[in-house]
Amino acid sequence: MADTMQFDLVSPERRLASGEAREVQIPGAAGDLTAMAGHAPTITTLRPGILRIVGTTGTDEYAVTGGFAEISAEGASILAEEAMPVGEMTQDALDGFVARASDRLRAAKDSGDQNLVDDAAKLVADMVAMGSQAGLTAKQPSA
């Protein structure tokens, strides 16, 4: 069995990465998972987090804010809503993400739908967690 798989990371605005990878660690909505060659075909949605690609030459890390991943035995395609290399992730970008998530939380609270509130609260928490993994500290969102 081949020990590498085809890997693509695309966002609506550009193709960020493409190539061979040994394993891809994906922040799935239902929990983290690692895709390697020969993985069972799976489609999962993403939560905000760090996507880690272990390639033949090194490891790349990308911050993704959502989207979904399509995994098959031969490869993995990550369709991220927004994605950027962790190195390019700035405090401003993180603050922007957290602020947007907080806005949603506020809107959800206004609407009074508890499911929406839970979803949005999780989104905020995920964003903050993503920031701390990237070595940044999110300003505590004012709820």
Structure-token match 């962790």, residue found: 86
Q: Which is nearer to other proteins, 70 or 95 (CB)?
A: 70
The verdict on 95 binding other proteins (CB under 8 A) reads: no
- Print burial letters for 23-58: b (CB count within 10 Å at least 16), e (below 16): bbbbbbeeeeeebbbebeeeebebbbbbbbbbbeee
Q: Which stretch binds other proteins (CB under 8 A): 9-17, 48-56, 109-117, 129-137?
A: 9-17
Q: Which is nearer to other proteins, 4 or 42 (CB)?
A: 42
14 Ramachandran zone, left/alpha/beta (phi>0; psi -120 to 50): beta
Site for other proteins in 46-75 (CB under 8 A): 67-68, 70
- Residues at the site binding other proteins, with contacts judged by CB under 8 A: 8, 10-15, 28-30, 33, 40-45, 67-68, 70, 77, 79, 81-82
